[in-house]
Amino acid sequence: MGNTLPFLQIDVFTDRPFFGNPVAVVLDADGLSSQAMQRIARWTNLSETTFVLEPTDARADYRLRIFTPDRELPFAGHPTLGSARAVLHSGRLKQRDTTTLTQECAAGLVRLRRDAGRLFFEVPPERTTQVSASDALAIADALGLGAETETPRFEAIDVGPVWLTAALRDADQVHAVSPDFARLAELSRRLGATGVNVHATYPTGYRDGRGQGVQVAVRSFAPAAGVPEDPVCGSGNACVALQRRARGEHHDYTATQGEVIGREGRINVAYRGEAIEIGGDTVVTIEGRISVD
């Protein structure tokens, strides 16, 4: 069969297989070229495929490279959580204390922790810039929000990926968004963004179909990166958490994502002093080996 490497597929932001956002993880990938990694990511055709390598920074437990079907990303949220689960599941963590991990990636060092079986990553330092009124109007139009809707205030929030992020009127409006993906892709490329991210607050006391209390609805669109709608997006939710904090919200919450496309992602957001952590459950769905010849 030729040269093979350990391979896992992890469902992230769910405690039930096939309801979250899958990430493909290739372990022991130090011998692969960038071209081979991109080819594998294009073949898996998931929103992200990751490759675990030996760290170059002595403070890190492992190094991670993250690819969409058509490009490499400096950082992404659900691949970070899924890859950490793969590293732990495969017994590759050398340290005895598995309650904290440090990942090295192109965006720098990312700290992770385990809490009651869930994994959390600390949001990297961000940079936020205001989107112009004309561009915000174009984004709103591409999302199909309609002329009668007040134009949302979009911000470009850079956490490694750049998400054009805005709060909408309510969760129903978030769920009703019907994007023109070609226009969103063009706008994202022109504005140097990974994609567009919208969110809103549920009514107080709202519970989902499983009877769980949830507070925020989120959707993320990245057609310019080959992902029309990200089922459950860690970096997108990081941008939502940052935007909410900037507007005075400092309470931990649970967000939903993916219902419109048949998923049930649940994202746990924790404000810990100056830090923000994004976390959730992870499930191993596939384990085996992948041919890399």
Question: Kind and range of the H or E element at 268?
Answer: strand 265-272
Please give the C-alpha separations between residue 6 and each of 178, 247, 285, 288, 292, in angstroms, as whole numbers: 39, 44, 14, 6, 10
Residue 250 region, left (φ>0) first, then alpha (ψ -120 to 50), else beta?
Answer: alpha
Extract long-range pairs of 26-31: CB within 8 Å, 24+ residues apart. 26/50, 26/51, 26/52, 26/290, 26/292, 27/52, 27/86, 27/87, 27/90, 27/92, 28/52, 29/5, 29/53, 29/65, 30/54
Task: Write down the catalytic residue from 48, 155, 229, 277.
Answer: 48
* Closest to 216 in 3D by CA, of 191, 196, 184, 241: 241
Q: Is 122 a catalytic residue?
A: no
The catalytic site residues sit at 48
